[in-house]
Chains A and B, each alone.
Chain A
Amino acid sequence: MDELNALFHGFSTVLSWYNLGMMFIGLVLGVIIGVLPGLGGPNGVAILLPLTFTMPPTSAIIMLSCIYWGSLFAGAITSILFNIPGETSSVATTFDGYPLAQQGRAGNALTASFTGSFVGALSGVLLITFLAPLVSKFALRFGPPEFFAVFLLTFCSFVGTDKKTPFKTIISMMLGFGLAAIGMDTVSGELRMTFGWSELLRGVDFLVVVIGLFGIGEILVSMEEGLKFEGKNGRINLKVVLQTWKEMPRYWMTLIRSTLVGCWMGVTPGGATAASFMGYGLAQRFSRNGHKFGTGEIEGVIAPETAAHASGTSALLPMLALGIPGSATAAVLLGGLMIWGLQPGPLLFTEQKDFVWGLIASMYLGNFVGLIIVLSTVPLFAAILRIPFAIVAPIIIVVCAIGAYSVNNAMLDVWFMLLFGVIGYVLKKLSYPLAPMILALVLGDRMEDAFRQSMLGPGTGLHVFWSNGLVGTITTLALIMLFWPLVSLLWRMARKSGRDTVAQH
């Protein structure tokens, strides 16, 4: 019951006018950011992060996490009304959402998706409330080798779960580590990869990279596609909402299934995008109406949205409990923690009680308020998309430039932003995943520190990572995850040859 007490304490922190105001601003900004092409969760948070340097950390994280919820909600608006996924995690929502809008049932689709999202997010927050304190208590036993092993597990499972382009995932991840290593080495004070350039001394800031890759890169991609928005009308009234809600309980199985998938994919860094596709795929396979998917089934909207939101929310669990983010946006939030002077990791739960429980309480409240905001104001946000791209694009670029500059008050960062924009454009077109790069960039220094701290002292070597049962298990698990495609291939071959020999006898 400790958790409940702490949670109520958290609510009392959140329920001040200032924090509620921040929550509202965050949600509205988040929806706008999610609706606009070129602005999404990660870089929306990155641009606004410098504004929060002077705020109290609790209010800052409430605002930034609400931006995240808002942008997750907004992904569905563009998918359903415009057939354009505002976020990659809502690609699967277009399959059934847009046909529904074409049939004039956009209101139902939107209500269903928002409600599904809400259910998914709520389950994610519940999971965080009760599981995260346990995980962090367990992780208090971790020393540097254990932490390195957990980092390793995170990154290896990224590679192992990527069936299409594992090597591109590796490259993207390693580039992130490389960028993190630029500048002064924290242990020895030596300069690494600055090539005699004094401005590189402080390293490349992850916020600048995020703004470039996701902001400018996205604008370039959208520009090439020649955006022309032809949206459907998305008016929602109370009658449609109630009617859809009456229909929702029928899909309880889909809701539960997608929630489980989403929570799992969020805690392990599978990502919201993969979760939404899996949620959709599973619903299609097991639902009675599965054969009708793709032609405008409410269930086909609920499934991916619930999974995406559940995963997006539970991605914060490892971030809070272990200091390891489960998604790109969570990585940016984690970077924010460090900027505000909080040390991420299992100690956060014991040392920064107000902060952690304030954040968790704000998740409950933020998702509820978010649901009401999006349900009541969809037409307003949809109108934003009807503004010509020639007006929206330069404003986004200006906002990105300001965001990049204000991180360090350095002009060089703005040029870096442009450079990373071009890199992001090329990489996106070649289907390199970008989230691993951001994760590696944020975690790089800490992972290296963990590695070198475990190597301190005489007689050390890589065998440290198998020195006791706990660290050995995690390291072995990490290696299995890394070579998972190979392992499963060998397993299948072994079984096949085994069957052949049995058949011969």
Chain B
Amino acid sequence: MDQQQTQGRPSGGGLSHSAVDAITAVVFFAVGVVMMVDNHRIGITWATDGPESGYFPFHIGLIICIASVAVFLKAMFGKHRNQEIFVSWARFRLVLLVLLPTALYILLIQLLGIYVASALFIAAFMRLLGKISWLKTVLVSVGVNAVLFWMFEVQFMVPLPKGPLEALFGY
């Protein structure tokens, strides 16, 4: 498998569309195998009262494997392979600029509670990526969270994760 993957790579630059297509097919194949193995453990045959618990998911896994082989073959040897670069580095950087701060944000939710973390996240995003003025940044980030707090905690009484700041106000 590894060999075939490296063959799919165009010289220089990122991965081509069809290479990523093939790699995801391999990943899905692995997912299918994991499903089959785990459900085989539970039992995939017919008991006295009908099929065992693993029967249905086992066959789902099997179908995933078969379909992913088909996608893989089409991506590697198909006639209309898309050799364009999947995503250029400059554009992928933009994606990471959203993805990594979001991961950090979710981490912060656990430490500071969702309202403080959200305010910080929105403010940082606006300031660093949007270069928006300080006044607007503060107004939007605090305002949005005030509305959210009112809606979820006061109006609909849906408890969201809260941190030290909310505890200070007695929530």
Chain A contacts to B: CB under 8 angstroms: 50-51, 54, 167-168, 170-171, 174-175, 177-178, 181, 185, 187-188, 190, 192-193, 195, 216, 219-220, 223-224, 226, 388-391, 393-395, 397-399, 401-402, 405-406, 409, 411, 414-415, 418, 421-422, 425-427, 429-430, 448, 451-452, 455-458, 460
Contact = CB atoms under 8 A, between A and B. Distances in A.
Contacts of A388: 130, 132
B138 interface: no
A429 B87 contact: yes
B138 to A, nearest CB: 13
Contacts of B67: 167-168, 170-171, 174
Contacts of A195: 38
Contact of A406 (B20, B21, B35, B160): B160
Nearest to A188: B53
Interface of B: 17, 20-21, 24, 28, 31-32, 34-35, 38-39, 42, 48-54, 56-57, 60-61, 63-64, 67-68, 70-71, 74, 86-87, 91-92, 94-95, 97-99, 102-103, 105-106, 109-110, 114, 118, 121-122, 125-126, 129-132, 140, 144, 148, 152, 156-161
B156 A54 contact: yes
A411 B53 contact: no
The B interface is mostly helix, strand or loop, or mixed, namely: helix
Contacts of A223: 94-95, 97-98
A457 to B, nearest CB: 8
A351 B48 CA distance: 35
Given A192-B42, A398-B121, A411-B161, A390 B95 contact: no
B98 A219 contact: yes
Contacts of B56: 177, 181, 448, 451-452
Given A178-B64, A216-B102, A406-B152, 5 more contacts: A174-B67, A395-B140, A401-B109, A415-B106, A430-B17
A159 B92 CA distance: 32
Nearest to A461: B46
Contacts of A398: 118, 121-122, 144, 148
A406 B60 contact: no
Contacts of A175: 28, 31, 64
B37 to A, nearest CB: 10
Contacts of B35: 178, 193
A430 B102 CA distance: 23
Contacts of B71: 167-168, 171
Contacts of B32: 174
Contacts of A409: 159
A259 B168 CA distance: 58
A192 B98 contact: no
A312 B26 CA distance: 35
B42 to A, nearest CB: 6
A219 B125 CA distance: 14
B133 to A, nearest CB: 12
Contacts of A178: 31, 35, 57, 60-61, 64
Nearest to B75: A430
B64 A190 contact: no
A455 B86 CA distance: 46
B10 to A, nearest CB: 17
B102 A397 contact: yes
Nearest to A427: B24
5 contacts: A175-B64, A219-B98, A220-B95, A224-B95, A389-B130
B64 A192 contact: no
